[in-house]
Amino acid sequence: MTNPTVDLTGRTALITGASRGIGHAVAAELLARGAAVTITARKPDELAAAADELAATADDGAERLLALPGNAGDEDARADAVERTVERFGSLDILVNNAGINPVYGPLVEADLGAVRKIFDVNVVAALGFVQQAHKACGEHGGTVVNVASVGGLRSTGVIGAYGASKAAVIRLTEELAWQLGPSIRVNAVAPSIVKTRFATALYAHGEEEVAAAFPMRRLGEPADVGRLVGFLVSDAASWITGETVRVDGGILATGTRG
C-alpha cells in the first residue's frame, strides 16, 4: 500500500456507549472521515439527542447515522445492533467497544462481588460478545476493532481496582483477538487516562487544575483526543498495527505516577 488513507468513505462503524463522552467523540470523528455510523447506548433519550447533534455535523449526516438504544450487556441487543447495522448500510467494517461501567470505588477486599461481576460482564464479556457478532457479519472482507481500555488496566490506581482489572482483561483480550483474527481483522485498544467526561467526573471534580498539574501536558484529556486516535487506528494508515494498546494519557504514565 503506497498511499494509505485515513478516509473512511464507504465503510460502516458500530460504536457502543456513544451517547456522550468518548463514544460520542469517536462517532463524530468517524462521521467526519466519511464513514456510516451506528451508535448505541442504554438511554433512548440521551441517544436520540446525541444522534441529532451528530447528524447536524455533516450535510448527509442523517443518512449516514443510525441510533439504536440497547444495553451492551444484553446478548439480544448486541445481535440486533449488528444485524440492523448491516441491514441499513450493507456491511460492518469497524467496531468500537466503548461501553463501560464503574460502580465500585475503594478497596477490592470490601467490594460488592455482584457489582464486580457486572463490571466484568459489561466491560469484558460484552466487548467479546460484540466482536463475535461483528466477526459473523464481517465475513471474508474483514475489518477493524478498537477496544477502549484505560491506563487503569496498565497500572494500579488504588481507587478503581475492579474497573482497572476489567480493563487489564480488555487489553489481554485485544492481544488474543489480534492473533486469532489476523490477517483479515485488526484488533487494537486505546488506553486513556482521565478524560473530561461525565463518567470520569469523580476523578477530577475536587480540583481539575490540581489533577492536571501532574500531567506533563498540564491538562486533562478531551474526548476528541481519543476520537482522533481511534480514527487513525481504524484507517488504512494503521494497516500494520494490530494487537497494540495505545496510551492516550497526556504523558502521566511516563512520570511513574498513577494515571
* Residues taking part in catalysis: 163
DSSP alpha helix (H) spans, the chain: 21-32, 44-55, 75-89, 113-120, 126-138, 161-181, 208-212, 223-233
Round to whole Å and give the CA distance between 215 and 32.
Answer: 29
Q: How many helices (H) and strands (E) are present in the chain, helices listed first?
A: 8, 7
154-161 own/partner pairs: CB under 8 Å, 24+ apart: 154/191, 154/245, 154/247, 154/253, 154/259, 155/253, 155/258, 155/259, 156/258, 157/258, 157/259, 158/258, 159/105, 159/106, 159/203, 160/102, 160/104, 160/105, 161/104, 161/107, 161/108, 161/111
Residue 247 cell numbers, joined = 496510551
